């Protein structure tokens, strides 16, 4: 695994980016940044990063994920992680970033979490009239 390959797919209104390769300084981390910004430009704000086939991530790659998380949140969306490898999970634990991200092992649970989130954020409606 060397170059980062990103494949986009849609499941129940959630954009899943299936990634394979390395997320490291240079073109690989730039590719992730570009992909996330393109999704936001297209109005896609529910983003799930499938990390199951990411063989390595360095500090620049980690920084790019954090930056993407912040950018998506600023646009009113959510970015979550799926299928963390042992290496990536350990890195997120060590940096205490695992407390920042919603991370899932099961794709259905991850996708459904976006819909659960939407119902929690809906405005409350009064059940009575004055």
Question: pLDDT (tens digit, 9 = 90+) per residue, 17-63?
Answer: 999 999 999 888 899 999 999 999 999 999 999 999 999 999 999 99
- Residue 109 inside a domain? The answer is yes
What pLDDT sits at residue 28? Answer: 85
Residue 115 phi, psi dihedral angles, 5° rounding: -70, -35
Sheet containing 46-57: which strands, arranged edge to edge?
5-11, 14-23, 46-57, 78-82, 103-104
Structure tokens at 29: 């981390």
Q: Are 66 and 88 in contact (CB under 8 A)?
A: no
The number of domains in the chain is: 1
Q: Which residue has the higher pLDDT, 118 or 77?
A: 77
Please state, in angstroms and rounded to a whole number, the distance separating the CA atoms of residues 37 and 33: 6
Domain hosting residue 25, numbered range = 5-120
Q: What is the domain-level CATH number for residue 71?
A: 3.30.750.24
């Amino acid at each position: 695994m060397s170059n980062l390959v990103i494949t986009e797919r849609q499941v129940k209104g959630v954009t899943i980016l299936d990634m394979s390769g390395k997320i490291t300084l240079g073109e690989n981390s730039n590719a992730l940044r570009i992909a996330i910004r393109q999704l936001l430009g297209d109005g896609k704000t529910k983003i799930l990063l499938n990390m199951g086939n990411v063989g390595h991530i360095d500090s620049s790659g980690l920084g790019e994920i954090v930056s993407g998380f912040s950018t998506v949140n600023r646009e009113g969306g959510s970015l979550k992680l799926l299928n963390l490898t042992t290496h990536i999970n350990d890195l997120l634990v060590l940096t205490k970033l695992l407390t920042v991200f919603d991370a899932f092992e099961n794709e259905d649970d991850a996708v459904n979490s976006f819909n659960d989130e939407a119902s929690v954020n809906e405005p409350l409606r009064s059940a009575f009239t004055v």
